[in-house]
Amino acid sequence: MVFAIAAGCNKQTQHAPDVWAMVNGKEIKREEVDKYYRTRVNPEGQEPSQEESLSQKLNVLDELINNEILLEKAKKLNLEASDGEVEDKFTELKSPYTEDEFQRRLKDQAMTVEDLKLELRRQLSIQKLLNHEVVAKITITDQDISDFYDANKAQFNVAEPQYHIAQIVVTPRKEQQIRNRKNDDAANEAEAQRKVKMLMDRLNSGADFSQLAMDYSEDMNTAGTGGDLGFVPESALNQSDPALKKIVVGLKAGQVSQPVQVVPKDGPRILILKLIARESPGLRGIAEPQVQQTIRDTLRNRKEQLLRLAYLAIARDGAQVKNFLAEQVIEAAGKLPDAAKTTMPQRSIGH
């Protein structure tokens, strides 16, 4: 979803060349955009084209504009994250790594500890705002659940045995894009093994599987949903790695597997699997707790996404935004070599 940019083409607006946007009078500079841009581009991968680079920078800038708007609202409502909350999150983020590994990760992303803590404060403050203004207002009634079930009975008809599986994925290589909440990515075999051990230690200590998946899983397609793969039919398992099928079939509902390494086409990966539920063929009734929870979660996620978009749209309408980079791109017909250039940090050999 691309939000409309509330910036006119007033060429009389005076601003320094390194100022790429303004939000209610506050500057967002090129340096900040470049910093976030670096975290999204693999320095060892193929260099993006000028158009790709500019497109990514416009997306980053738009996110920074939105974040600044929401952060201002959080401050006005006294919902800004406290120093203690920031320190707790920082400690949690740092805990899986040695000091050298942690410092190397900061260097790879051209960040300092202060930069990271500032970003954590922003993220936590915005999340507190959205929880207060959006999430707390969501209600799902029994009638909502009943209506959804009646309208979607076909999806609750199980034609063959199914296995509700969740996964945490760790790869021994740096990924181009990471979508977990901690932006956590094992860069080599040693880091991957340490990360897997940390995850298993936490799971064995009672940590929530879905929260760990959202924080640490390196699969961009499932990390955001707690590693949830949904219900996998037996026929699909038959086409997967035999070792995976053996593990899944041998798990009891609620049980977590030991780590297993597989080698698909995109390279080796280590999986930690959880069997959430096992379903026999037939129509699943609305009285089943899992059916109700599935419907409730679906409806809640839909409403939350909708309300977040609406809340941001209203907040953006009430802000004074100037996107100077977007203006320059339009004026230059999409060609802006200088803005497309970003110096990537040099990685040492073997990292």
Residue in the structure block whose two tokens are 């691309």? 2
Instruction: List Cβ neighbours of 36 (8 Å cut-off, separation of 6 or more).
Output: 60, 63, 64
Residues in the chain: 351
CATH number of 160-280: 3.10.50.40
Least confident interval from 18-22, 50-54, 189-193: 50-54
Rounded CA separation 121/336 (Å): 33
Name the residue with higher pLDDT: 41 or 101. Answer: 101
CA atoms of 224 and 222, how far apart (whole Å):
5
What pLDDT digit, counting tens, does each position of 275-314 carry? 999 988 999 899 999 899 999 999 999 999 999 999 999 9
Asked whether residue 71 carries a pLDDT value surpassing 90, the answer given is yes
Question: Residue 68: exposed, middle, or buried by beta-carbon count in 10 A (0-12, 13-18, 19+)?
Answer: buried
Mean of per-residue pLDDT scores for the chain: 87
Asked if pLDDT for residue 47 goes beyond 60, the answer is yes
| Domain boundaries defined on the chain | 19-136+306-332, 160-280
| Topology at the third CATH level for domain 19-136+306-332 | Triger factor/SurA peptide-binding fold (1.10.4030)
Please write the tens of the pLDDT for every residue from 264-277: 877 899 999 999 99
CB 21, CB 328: distance < 8 Å = no
DSSP state of 133: H
pTM of the model: 0.62
Percentage of the residues of the chain whose pLDDT score is greater than 90 = 64
Residue-wise pLDDT tens digits, 128-139:
999 999 999 999
User: Across residues 117-128, what is the average pLDDT?
Assistant: 95
**Would 19-136+306-332 and 160-280 be classified into the same CATH topology?**
no
